[in-house]
Amino acid sequence: MILASKSPRRREILESMGFRLKIIVPDVEERSGEKEIPARIMDIARQKTLALATEQPLLYVTGADTVVILDGEIIGKPVDAADAASTLRRLSGREHRVLTAFSFRNFSRNTDICDYEITKVFFRDLDEELIRWYVGTGEPMDKAGSYGIQGKGALLAEKIDGDFFNVMGFPIARFARRILEEGLTPEQFPFL
């Protein structure tokens, strides 16, 4: 299967389930004309997948996009350390949602799945020392919402309501359920 993503977390999650992956990062501008947040993020995931699936119609291709949502606003990856610190201050002591959309496509088998998962994350109150330390680790710089729950960012969260892997960047349980509904079996996963 082709993974249309450079995310090491997505790769790790999918490989842990037995998927054999070829990583190809599509040249896609991550923009959508969709107005509603779930539709917008699904559209971006679909664009990533289609960019490669049209070139490789016999292969399965999957792509994804993850965002953090706070007060109805999408919070993506920080542009610099100051932006990361500002985002963490906004998330401090609050609940936010993590939405990951995925697309799974194979033209030759007429497979076209696009779906998403939402998980609630509750942050503890963060003091300036903790924010400064965490930003200084460099970990938040390539992550939506300026944190990685699977790493040092675990210190920031108080609790999670929903799929932990979704917060990491790929909702593997929903993804597996959806492709099983298409008639694929777990035994086929390594060969996708």
Positions marked catalytic: 65
Burial environment of residue 119 by CB neighbours within 10 A (0 to 12, 13 to 18, 19 or more): buried
Q: What is the dihedral of CA 74, 176, 50, 64, to 10 degrees?
A: 20
Q: Tokens for 30?
A: 């991550």
Phi-psi region for residue 169, left (φ > 0), alpha (ψ -120 to 50) or beta?
A: left
42: nearest Cα among 142, 150, 171: 171
CA distance linking residue 139 with residue 162, whole number of Å: 23
